[in-house]
Amino acid sequence: MLPPMDPDGPRPAEVWCDFVGYQGLGQAEFLDHQFLYLPSSFLDLSGHQRAVFRRNVRRFDKRNPNWTYRQPRSQDELMGVMGDWLEDGQEVYDLDAIVRYMETCPAAESRVLGVDGEVVAANAWDYNRTFINFRYSFVRRGVKYLSEFVRLQFYLDMMDRWPGRFVNDGGSLGSDRLFRFKSKLGPWRVDQLHTWRKETE
């Protein structure tokens, strides 16, 4: 799945996802983008690039003054929001992996957002020595501007927890809409990731 760390070790026939600077053998095929953000940049939402995001965050806050952002009290709170997020017949990439992750996600690496005491959104993440990895954000359908607002809470929370550490917010999974959305949030860097396959003779 990931490239071998030993440059002198055996090379697999295929590497599903590389990292920036990886020099593989064979042919590289574009897999996805990787959006990196500095959480403290979300303290200032001014400017044209973040105008829509800023406006929607304010709209949510004005409509829902009684909100809380906290650690989940149970796994059911996380799973319930995910169930509200899914639509009948919705195609989701690797849904089984998402469900397994959310079922075992530590409470310390997740937060829920409540409005008037009812949980309407959830964020989940993990981390490594390089990045905070923003894994998932689920919102209840039909709650306007919730997606932007809960994303902002995630970034402000990460800024307090790990000052100066960057967030890897994943890619766009082939969605032009998601690519545009993440691009307008002012990423620090946008990388290209590749799949590598050995050339066939």
pTM: 0.84
pLDDT in tens, 151-201: 999 999 999 999 999 999 998 877 888 899 999 999 999 998 878 887 665
Question: Is 176 a member of any domain?
Answer: no
Question: Is 13 a member of any domain?
Answer: no
CATH code (residue 62): 3.40.630.30
Q: Hey, how many other C-beta atoms are within 10 angstroms of the C-beta on 153? A: 19
Could you tell me the pLDDT band of residue 2, with boundaries at 50, 70 and 90? low
- Where in the sequence is the domain holding 151, given as residue range(s)? 39-165
pLDDT in tens, 65-124: 999 999 999 988 888 887 777 565 556 667 777 778 888 888 899 999 999 999 999 999
Question: Is 3 a member of any domain?
Answer: no
Query: Which of 106, 99, 108 has its CA nearest to residue 79?
Result: 99
Question: Structurally, how many domains does the chain consist of?
Answer: 1
